[in-house]
Amino acid sequence: MALSKSNISVGDQHSEQVVDNLTRTQIIQYAGASGDYNPLHTDEIFTTQIAGYPTVFAHGMLSMGLTGKMLTNYVGDGRLTKYGVRFVAQVWPGDSLTATATVEDIREEDGVSLVDLAVSTVNQDGAEVVKGSATARIDG
């Protein structure tokens, strides 16, 4: 399943819808699993009346985790060597996200074959919410 130098080219893309109609319950699942219980993500009363937002919103790290699912499906289990993102915009309940990896470079480092990927996740309006990069080991 892993990528190899012979089956990828610069410019190749892999896209997946990583969440369809994000629920408040999934945000609560992420809070419980990750340990980040900031009420901005789960507590509608605090978030609207105290913090002044229209509703709760997803942890940035949930967007990164959802995007990571697309990456590991593409590069294979245990193949990532680097993964980093900037959180560009908030993700709200009801959003649907599509994550895309684009092959930027295929190279060798210390005898190991690597692929460098640009990573971008957009919402249902096409607005980017996560932008980043990743590197993974590939077969030579």
Partner 1 sequence: MATDRFPVEQGHIMLFARSVGDENPIYHDPEAAADTEPGHVIPPPTFVQASAQFTDGYSLRPVTGQPWFGSGKEPTGVKRESSGGGGGTGFHAEQHYEYHAPIQPGDVLKAVDKPGKSWTREGRRGGSLSFNESITEYYNQDGVLVVTARSVGVQTSRVVE
Write out the residues near partner 1 by the rule CB under 8 A: 2, 18-19, 26, 29-30, 32-40, 42-43, 45-46, 49-53, 59-62, 64-66, 68-69, 71-73, 76-87
Q: Choose between 10 and 33: whose C-beta lies nearer to partner 1.
A: 33
Closest CA to 71 of 140, 128, 2: 2
In the complex, minimum distance from the CB of residue 59 to partner 1, in angstroms, rounded to a whole number: 8
Q: How far is it, in rounded angstroms, from Cα 136 to Cα 74?
A: 10
In the complex, minimum distance from the CB of residue 42 to partner 1, in angstroms, rounded to a whole number: 8
Closest CA to 128 of 41, 69, 54, 67: 67
In the complex, minimum distance from the CB of residue 28 to partner 1, in angstroms, rounded to a whole number: 9
